[in-house]
Structure 1
Amino acid sequence: MFFTSCEEKQNAKTEQLKSSPNIILFVADDHGTDALGCYGNPVIKTPNLDKLASEGVMFTNAYCTSASCAASRSVILSGLYGHATGSYGHVHDYHHFSTFDGVKSLSNRLSEAGYLTARIGKYHVAPEKVYLFDEVLEADPRNTVEMADASKNVLNSDKPFFLYFCTDDPHRGHPFKPETWDIPNTFGNKVGGYKDVNQVVYNPDNVIVPDFLPDNKQSREEIAQYYQSISRIDQGFGKLMSHLKDAGKLYNTIVFYISDNGMAFPGAKTTVYEPGIKLPCIIKDPTKGKKGSVNHAKISWVDLTPTILEMAEVSYNPKDFHGKSFNTIIDNEPNQGWDQIYASHTFHEITMYYPMRVSIDKNYKLIWNIAYRLDYPFASDLWAASTWQSIYKNDIEYYGKRKVKDYMFHPEFELFDLDKDPGELNNLATNANFEAVLENMKKKMKAFQLKTKDPWLIMWDHDNSLQGTGVDL
């Protein structure tokens, strides 16, 4: 588009803002806040995502509800906790968890409202009629540049569009189990790289090792691979923004960058500790006033669907969702009302039954390990990771700052003061001085489970009030 003057350019911007906004929801796979320049990592190269943060709003307390890919994505697209929709864990292969047919998803609602809806890359939800998109675009989900190129027609649509852009990066790559235990996973990186992608390679000596991981050769080698995969995401994101600019849609497109769960390392993904569920969330909304700001409100992926519907000016009944829209607080951080988070994990793989529920209220966090009598079930790819094997195979007592036995066997309740103990190492649940706090957090958790019709409420006192009769009438 060619402008002959600044005035014409401003007029075009004004006209765009009058129309229904386009929306891009960019979802990475297993990306934590540990590996983004804008979140404080001085080593990793993410210039395009850092630019998005400088032009938008970066949330520091954004949470998924389950640190497992499929379960998390069902929440993103439904506004409902997975325990209420049947989305208990992985949908693919023999795991076969699936959302109940009566759920009405974000994409279906936007299609009915006149949006062109399109998805590209990782899907990982079912059934398709619940999560239906008008167009399904094809590209290598490890090559975000190719994905961006494949999205150009959608970006040039005459209708307002919703683009659900989901990478496979930086998920661990095949083979998950290496030939020898000490070989680092590739995280999708390959010799020769990907077409039109500049390989950004990292020296393991220079990476930042999070406190919950062991600082050793194997961990550093895997983090270096993880970083490389993220830099590939960043290039594809930059290409997508370039195409958006070429389409003349910069001024009326809202862009989200999030991840489904934390980094694919033991202690993060599949856990409900902070590295598993506290995630990047960057939003650029041309209608908002503040740019380059930071928002400390506690928001959740269960809030995304009502938020996006409100942005798109699509009417809905707030009672249809467990989450609530945070649209009005994006550039106006609230003083109160956004200081609680709930999380709900039940399965990862079907062989990994380990239900956990989480309540966060201001600085306190309660984890209820419902199946605490069982060994903690690792994801198969995380167990095979050289980072974990470097500790487990060599019978080393500590993995990061936590004892290996504490990873393998969790207590029933874990209570933490996140302000004083961000690493979640000092369990206050057995401390008599925090008995009142523990009981108050339990009450909040029970109320959350009752409100969201969590079948696992029965595990408190065998109250089966949420269950049916078991007889079809």
Structure 2
Amino acid sequence: MIESIEPRLCSIGIAITASQAAYVGISIQNKDSHDMPGNRKEAQPNILKITCHDLGQHIGCYGIPTVRTPNIDRIAETGIRFENSFCVAPQCSPSRASMVTGRYPHNNGVMGLTHGDFAWDLNRNERHLAGLLSDAGWRSVLVGLQHETQDPERMFDEIVTTSDQCEIVADHAAAFLDNRRDANQPFYIQLGFTEPHREPRSSSGFGKMPSDHSEKATFPEYLVDEPDAQDEMMAFEGAIHRVDTAIGHVLEALDEASRTEETLILMTTDHGIPFPRAKCSPYDPGIETCFIIRWPGGPLPRGKTYDEMISNIDLLPTVLDLVDHPIPETIQGLSFAPLLTDSGSYQTRTKIFGEMTYHDYCDPRRWIRTNKYKLIINFTTALSFMNPSQTWRPKAVSRDPPDPALEYHKPVELYDLDEDPMETNNLAEHSEYEPIRRDMLTRLHRWMKETEDPLLNGIPAPPMHERALSTLRNERK
């Protein structure tokens, strides 16, 4: 099991480092507080960033009728929802790292998972959103799961004691808000929920089920709708309902602390849902993400949906822009704050770039997506997509390819997203699409060169490579 969460390690007497403990949500870290009377920045909002694992856009306000998400839907109804929001990487750590640094995974250092022996991590000089806001006067607090670094202690002012269960995480967030009713210093809370990530060792595959879960789930077109797969999708929707209830608890605490009006809320996820041809793949089901933003007392509209295309690398510059904080020159994302506030010059995104290098194994892929086309270039002949089911016997299987164990990457993939939204008809070798193929390849290659993608010079070695070499050197001694 690649990404299992084991919150009971300490209780059974296994020693773990502070960084490992922070990943499973059982450490506490407090830096010296600069929360002094009168230190509250004038007109600066509190910031609450809510991130769920593996959620994609599988929630009510994105058109999924069978999943119960009244609290997330309420944020959208009173805020802003982006219909075309995508991540830069369809895996956990690289996507999250880009969100909080505003830089691509191959630039910020996180080209694979950060936990355990995977051991990828942010560059030592990388600036995290928490640190930028802390330096500007916010108190930065981690409540719950983070998956972008092995060393969260250097990123946050405070790490709150938590559990990986969403109900406990929400309790700790509510307690924090209650304790800060009279605090003058604005806060940045990074609230991370494990749910609805898979829990393969649980009977449902997604942890405990709420008693009122639906008897029928909404099934994506790209999966085969079979009884076992329906059971799995219902369990997934049950986990979503659980985390939505936990989010509702935090929203209530925000209300009770009289902080709602002055709090900028960002509700999002890391990538698409944890099913075949979604998570760990560059197709839209793998890179589509919910993105909802609300600031009742700020200059943002309410109850509005935008069709503009955004990337989650844009989150950091947008937040900094909204709170009038300078955006560092090294940031690669684009602020869409001018679109929300109807001020300044909004730079419309006509394309987004994405990447995958490592997850369960090395599978380097790069892509460019416009509103109409997507081009993917593959650097190995790996299987057609990486299976995120965390089991040798997946209950849900893809419609295309019908037998993914026998299908391998083509060098180039090109899809017309208007005519073929499921991305099953590869046009890369069709002569009539040669001009589009050439143009998309040129733009993708230019982006890789401009961002100094190491993949241009060969596949980057993973952290385990150096450990293996070190072991061999020691063995020779």
Q: TM-score with structure 1 length normalisation? A: 0.82
**AA matched with 1:166:** G
Verify the 8 A CA contact 2:280 2:359 in the aligned structure 1: yes
Verify the 8 A CA contact 1:57 1:294 in the aligned structure 2: yes
Verify the 8 A CA contact 1:105 1:131 in the aligned structure 2: no
1:292 to 290, 303, 325: 303
Kindly indicate whether residue 242 of structure 2 is the aligned counterpart of residue 232 of structure 1. yes
Distance, in Å, in 1 between the alignment partners of 2:157 and 2:433 is: 52
Distance, in Å, in 1 between the alignment partners of 2:401 and 2:155 is: 43
- Please show how residues 305-454 of structure 1 align to structure 2 within 5 Å: 305-317=316-328, 319-330=329-340, 337-349=348-360, 352-371=361-380, 373-376=381-384, 378-379=386-387, 381-384=389-392, 386-388=394-396, 399-405=398-404, 408-454=407-453
Q: Per the alignment, in what secondary structure is the counterpart of residue 107 of structure 1?
A: helix
Give a deviation string over 1:2-47, Cα, whole Å, max 9, x none. xxxxxxxxxxxxxx996211111100000021x2111111111111
Of residues 47-56 and 404-413 in structure 1, the stretch that sits farther from structure 2 once superposed is 404-413
* 1:339 positional shift: 2.3
Counterpart of 1:186 in structure 2 is 205
- Please show how residues 53-72 of structure 1 align to structure 2 within 5 Å: 53-72=76-95
Uncovered stretches (5+) of structure 2, i.e. residues with no partner: 1-39, 460-477
2:285 to 275, 295, 298: 275
Counterpart of 1:81 in structure 2 is 104
**AA matched with 1:86:** G
2:67 to 41, 44, 47: 44
Counterpart of 2:171 in structure 1 is 146
Q: Per the alignment, in what secondary structure is the counterpart of residue 443 of structure 2?
A: helix
Counterpart of 2:48 in structure 1 is 24
Give a deviation string over 1:271-320, Cα, whole Å, max 9, x none. 11111111111111232342111101111111111111122222233x21
Q: Which runs of 4+ in 1 moved over 4 A?
A: 331-336
Verify the 8 A CA contact 1:266 1:383 in the aligned structure 2: no
* 1:86 positional shift: 1.9
Verify the 8 A CA contact 1:108 1:130 in the aligned structure 2: no
Q: TM-score with structure 2 length normalisation? A: 0.82
Verify the 8 A CA contact 2:178 2:253 in the aligned structure 1: no
Distance, in Å, in 1 between the alignment partners of 2:63 and 2:399 is: 21
Verify the 8 A CA contact 1:65 1:72 in the aligned structure 2: yes
Distance, in Å, in 2 between the alignment partners of 1:31 and 1:255 is: 17
CA shift in 2, pair 1:213/1:377, >3 Å: closer
Verify the 8 A CA contact 2:56 2:270 in the aligned structure 1: no
- Please show how residues 61-140 of structure 1 align to structure 2 within 5 Å: 61-128=84-151, 132-140=155-163
Verify the 8 A CA contact 1:107 1:131 in the aligned structure 2: no
Counterpart of 2:201 in structure 1 is 175
Verify the 8 A CA contact 1:212 1:402 in the aligned structure 2: no
Counterpart of 1:468 in structure 2 is none
* 1:439 positional shift: 0.5
Of residues 412-421 and 286-295 in structure 1, the stretch that sits farther from structure 2 once superposed is 286-295
Distance, in Å, in 1 between the alignment partners of 2:191 and 2:88 is: 20
Counterpart of 1:202 in structure 2 is 214
Distance, in Å, in 1 between the alignment partners of 2:293 and 2:77 is: 10
* 1:85 positional shift: 2.1
Q: Per the alignment, in what secondary structure is the counterpart of residue 261 of structure 2?
A: helix
Verify the 8 A CA contact 2:50 2:190 in the aligned structure 1: yes
Distance, in Å, in 2 between the alignment partners of 1:336 and 1:419 is: 24
Distance, in Å, in 2 between the alignment partners of 1:212 and 1:457 is: 32
Uncovered stretches (5+) of structure 1, i.e. residues with no partner: 1-15, 177-183, 191-197, 392-398, 461-473
CA shift in 2, pair 1:369/1:362, >3 Å: same
* 1:143 positional shift: 2.2
Q: Per the alignment, in what secondary structure is the counterpart of residue 237 of structure 1?
A: helix
Give the percent of matched residue pairs that are identical in Structure 1 and Structure 2.
27
Verify the 8 A CA contact 1:117 1:163 in the aligned structure 2: yes
Verify the 8 A CA contact 2:378 2:409 in the aligned structure 1: yes
Verify the 8 A CA contact 2:281 2:386 in the aligned structure 1: no
* 1:248 positional shift: 1.2
Distance, in Å, in 1 between the alignment partners of 2:89 and 2:433 is: 27
* 1:166 positional shift: 0.5
